[in-house]
Amino acid sequence: MNQNTPITPRPLPLTADRLRAALLHTRDSEAMITGLAALALHRFSSAPALPALDRIDVLVPRTRRPRSTGGVRVVRAQDMPEPLDLSGIPVAPVARALADAVSGLTDAGMVRRLLTEAVRGGHCEPGMVVRELNRARLLDRPHVVDAVDSLLAEGRSIAEERLYQMVREFALPDPLWNVDLRLPGGPHLGGLDAYWPDQAVALELDTRAPRQDDDALWSEYTRKREHLERLGITVVHVTPRKLREAMDQQATVVRTALMAAKDRQPAAYVVVLPR
pLDDT digits (tens, 9 = 90+) for 7-43: 444 444 458 888 999 998 888 889 999 999 999 999 9
Assess whether pLDDT exceeds 90 at residue 213. no
Do residues 257 and 214 both lie within one domain?
A: yes
- Collapsing DSSP states into helix, strand and coil, what is residue 237? strand
Do residues 216 and 197 both lie within one domain?
A: yes
**CA–CA gap between residue 107 and residue 118 (Å, rounded):** 17
Which residue range forms the structural domain that includes residue 237?
161-274
* Residue where a domain terminates, one of 127, 157, 187: 157
pLDDT band at 90 (very low <50, low <70, confident <90, very high): very high
Do residues 82 and 118 both lie within one domain?
A: yes
**CA–CA gap between residue 247 and residue 249 (Å, rounded):** 5
Which of 170, 173, 177, 168 is CA-nearest to residue 195?
Answer: 177
User: Computed from CA positions of residues 163, 164, 168, 169, in that sequence, does the dihedral angle turn out positive or negative?
Assistant: negative
Q: Tell me: the pLDDT tens digits for 125-178?
A: 888 898 899 989 999 899 999 999 888 888 888 899 999 999 999 999 999 999
What is this structure's pTM? 0.72
Provide the 8-state DSSP code for 20.
Answer: H
**CA–CA gap between residue 240 and residue 46 (Å, rounded):** 23
Mean residue pLDDT across the chain: 87
Count of domains observed in the chain: 2
Strands of the sheet containing 56-61, edge to edge, are 72-77, 56-61, 32-34, 89-91, 84-86
Q: What is the pLDDT of residue 265?
A: 87
